[in-house]
Structure 1
Amino acid sequence: MFFRTIVTISIISFILTCLLIFGDSPSFRNTPIQKLRNQLLNVLRQLNQFYSYLDQKTNGQLIFILGWLIPLGYLAVVTVCFYQFWIKTFPIIESTTSTLSYYYIILSMFVIYLSTVIAMFSDPGSINATSLKTYPYEPNQLIFFNNNLCSTCKIVKPARSKHCSVCNKCYLLYDHHCIWINNCIGYYNYKWFLLYLVVNINMLGYGFIVCFKAINLQLTNYTLSGFWNLITRTNDTNKITGIFIILCIIFVIIVIIFTALHLRYIYLGVTTNELDKWGEIEYLIDLNLLYKVSPPINNQMFVEKASVRSKTLSEETVYISLKDETILIKNVNIADYNIIPVESVISDIDNEYDKGFWNNLKDRIFV
């Protein structure tokens, strides 16, 4: 029963993760897959609202407790798995394990703890007096704007920064808040986050190889049914080793996919946070609402088309600021500007922060 429960939970986790990551891709637009993803996101939003309500009732203590519950729980589960591996699985392969493989197993376990602790307690990039010089504001003024004040911290937000509602602090080159390490990922610790992902891939991938070797030594029927019978109907050692194999193969795929996504973001010259912002820009383009204006207004080269009611209650087309939605162009002054519709993010807009994959990678790691 316990074995089947672990397998079921692992498979469901894998499906839900893939749904959240890929369910909103263009190929799934207006399909049951996207609708299912939206329903899942709606459930998560409701849970978040309930969580926020409880957090208010506990004067902010709930967010502190739950924040550390996940990474500490992760380390506890890893520790239990390592212990079970040494007393159950390793004795099966001990006689066939080389000295190099033995020390590589120990090293793989050690770096899991090391990378997790470093990622948990590393500084994402706290904002100070020199932070404004870290990244220049883009000339386009499209997703980051000059003199943009954080309503919570009451400080000017540097380009590519964001306020984290969980940590209640603004961070440089904000990527996302990672619940697995209870820390934000930003300018200074993105390299430790990538290390955390890589060592988890190594642990899960190599763990799968080692555990499969332990089962393979006992197989007489080299079929899927023979494998399943061995790990479910023989002894506890094989059941535990079988659980390790299933967990490793499922979660190594998830971590590889997640790592590949971040490598793609590096290739595009964006962060996870900026990807959402570019998604909003693409949405405006799809609705034919984004326009390029010349000469720029208050250093803003792009405006959004909107409709407002005039004093006579008639509809009037105006062009508003992307920064604060103030009206920049009305019918009375529209002749003073050249307004051109933006048709494509790729051909009509330059990402000022994209320096090419290798330069982007060095920019994120060697800081």
Structure 2
Amino acid sequence: AFLVAVLVFGDSPALRNTPLHRLHRVLVRAGARLGRAATARPAVYAALRWTVPVFYAATVGVCVAQFFAHVYVRLGVRHSRGHALYMAVSLAALAAATALLTFSDPGVVLASTVARARRAYADNGLIFFAGRVCRTCGLPKVARSKHCSTCGRCVYVHDHHCIFANNCVGQNNYRWFVAFLLANINVMVYGGAVSWAQVRGAAAPGAWWWWWAAAPGAWWAAVTGPVDAARVAALLLALALVFAVVLAAFAGLHVRYMYLGVTTNEADKWGDIEHLVALGALYHAPGRGVFVERAEAPGAGGAVFILLADQRVLFAEHPAAPAVRRVLLVADVPNVYDRGFAANVRDRL
């Protein structure tokens, strides 16, 4: 869970130049090396991509089986029907969300749909640029789309590649990704709560401080005790607590992304823009209608302004150069894809 959190959050601008960011880079480089080794044989790579989804499904299956074998059977008779109904609905929702996320079309870019997508999403000249073509697919790179090196295809409004579903998350299936997150959180919270009731058992005193003062001791006593049911409940509680926290943080991150009107892929790109603003290197050239980066070029006799799209030098800094305005705050740079939180949620879901 810690490594997953580092992979998800470790590249955030707030963590740059920290041990977590360095660990993120180590993990990414290690993953890239493993990826190159795996992709050397396409058939092997295609099979390996299913190992994580299969492991996830097997882990959930084993935990659910242990839950029913040791925890569910000890629920009070008065509450059994309610628990049975809730658990059935929760597991059905989790299975449905997982299947829909895994096997749905994320919004693969097709030659027949490029024109319509271009009308929907204009290039903003900051993180998406006109005239670009995917070197792999040979199709125009529509704003907000991205080529997934894992799937080998371009996806509209690409968010990220979900290894737990072996599928990209994009324009057409982001709703199923959100459903997948919520269904997992629901199962973790419910399973953890019921397991906690089993751990707490009859030994729970009435003092309000017991939850904080005695709970760790009760959990450890259950783990090391002779009763299989209590031991299984304690281990399930620990797993549920850890993954519920990670999943809730991940869900909160995506709520923030929808509030900002960005995808995970775009958030990384905006991180680069924030870095340029922090360095005082991002400028706007009103006469040219473009954003440029100011860079020192000793060979050119001073500073130059380069295009963000292709890093070409647009002009050098001198008295006769076109007027430029330094961007002082990221808030001064409009996000044309942000239509307000409610509209963003409707668009994504």
Q: Same fold (TM over 0.5)?
A: yes
How far, CA to CA, are the matches of 2:344 and 2:301 in structure 1? 46
Q: 1:39 aligns with which of 8, 11, 22?
A: 22
Aligned to 1:354: 338
Aligned letter for 1:178?
C
Contact 2:39 2:45 in 1 (8 A): no
Q: In structure 2, how many angstroms separate the alpha carbons of the residues matched to 1:314 and 1:187?
A: 44
2:334 equivalent to 1:363 = no
CA distance in 2, matches of 1:195, 1:56: 31
Q: 1:318 aligns with which of 282, 304, 315?
A: 304
TM-score (norm: length of structure 2): 0.90
Distance, in Å, in 2 between the alignment partners of 1:267 and 1:220 is 42
Name the counterpart of 1:120: 102
Q: For the structure 1 residues 101 and 339, does the alpha-carbon distance in structure 2 shift closer, same or farther, using more than 3 Å as the test?
A: same
- Within the candidate set 232, 235, 244, 2:224 is matched to 232
1:316 CA drift (Å) = 3.7
Please give the residue correspondences for 1:122-137 in structure 2 after superposition, counting only pairs within 5 Å: 122-128=104-110, 129-134=112-117, 135-137=120-122
What does residue range 145-184 of structure 1 map to in structure 2 within 5 Å?
Answer: 145-184=129-168
Determine the structure 2 residue equivalent to 1:277.
Answer: 269
Per-residue CA deviations over 1:149-191 (Å, capped at 9, x if unaligned) read 1111111011100011111110000001111111111000000
Stretches of 4+ aligned residues off by more than 6 angstroms: none
> Structure 1 residues 280, 89: closer, same or farther in 2, change over 3 A?
same
Counterpart of 1:55 in structure 2 is 38
Counterparts of 2:340 and 2:266 in 1: how far apart (Å)? 16
Give SS of 1:97's match.
helix
Task: Work out whether 1:74 is the aligned partner of 2:56.
Answer: yes
2:234 is aligned to 242
Return 5+ residue gaps in structure 1 as ranges. 1-12
Pick which of 322-331 and 287-296 moved more: 322-331
Cα RMSD (Å) of the superposition?
A: 2.2
Give, as a single letter, the amino acid of the residue that structure 2 aligns with 1:193. Answer: F
Asked whether the 8 Å contact 1:20–1:37 carries over to 2, the reply is: no
Does 2:292 match 1:303?
yes
How many aligned positions are there? Answer: 338
Cα offset for 1:210?
1.4
Q: 1:21 to 1:306 in 2, by over 3 A?
A: same
Distance (whole Å) between structure 1 residues aligned to residue 269 and residue 25 of structure 2: 20
User: What SS does structure 2 have at the residue aligned with 1:295?
Assistant: coil
For 2:164, give the aligned amino acid: W
* Contact 1:211–1:244 (8 Å) recurs in 2: yes
Q: What is the TM-score when the length of structure 1 is the normalising length?
A: 0.85
Q: Distance in 2 between matches of 1:200 and 1:44?
A: 25
Distance in 1 (CA, whole Å) between partners of 2:178 and 2:39 is 34
Distance 1:231 1:127 in 2: 51
Identity %: 35
Contact 1:219–1:227 (CA<8 Å) still a contact in 2?
Answer: no
Aligned equivalents of 2:55, 2:12: Cα separation in 1: 32
Structure 1 position 329, deviation (Å): 1.5
Which sits farther off after the overlay, 41-50 or 251-260? 41-50
Taking a change above 3 Å as real, the CA distance of residues 236 and 118 of structure 1, as seen in their structure-2 partners, is: same
Q: Which amino acid aligns with 2:132?
A: N
Match of 1:214 among 180, 198, 211: 198
Distance 2:250 2:295 in 1: 37
For the residues of structure 2 that align with 1:282 and 1:132, how far apart are their CA atoms?
31
Does the CA contact (< 8 Å) of 1:291 and 1:339 recur in 2? yes
Q: Which residue of 2 aligns with 1:345?
A: 330
